[in-house]
Amino acid sequence: MPLSEHEQKMLDEMERQLFADDPRLARAFAPTARPRRSGRRILIGLGAVVVGLGILVLAVSLPAVWLGVIAFIGMLAGAVYAVTAPGGTAQGNDSGNGPGGGSGPSAPTGDDSGSFMRRMEERWEKRAGDDPRL
């Protein structure tokens, strides 16, 4: 069920406010780009699959089961190498923000730290008619 235009505007406003109030939290929940696979890595993996397939055909023509098993393992390793991303690129860009090693203050400071939630509560109370100021 799609959101109405008013709901979409409210959601966009809440998102902008989240980025303004707590950019670190917003970055933590922002979608991250998938690491790109390099063409060289794909070619090496594909080459390993082709060589493994050739050795597998040779192993079938010869009575060498052990050679066929090794060829199959080589083909599998080549395929996995080709389709996986290089290690270490998906992690590591958020070095100081984990638990225990955070950088910066652990709790927000200043008057505007709770302003977003306060405004949301005021809007909720206003809509519900439970405004204590009336």
Each residue's pLDDT expressed in tens, for the chain with a length of 134 residues: 677 888 888 888 888 887 888 777 777 777 776 666 688 888 999 999 999 999 999 988 988 889 989 999 999 999 999 888 776 544 444 444 444 444 444 444 455 557 888 888 888 888 877 545 55
Stated pTM of the model: 0.42
Residue with tokens 């303004």: 20
The rounded distance, in Å, linking the Cα atoms of 43 and 48 is: 9
| Sequence letter at residue 2 | P
Q: Which residues of 103-132 are buried (b: 16+ CB within 10 A; e: fewer)?
A: eeeeeeeeeeeeeeeeeeeeeeeeeeeeee
Instruction: Please write down the long-range contacts of 99-106, taking CB distance under 8 Å and 24 or more positions apart.
Output: 104/24
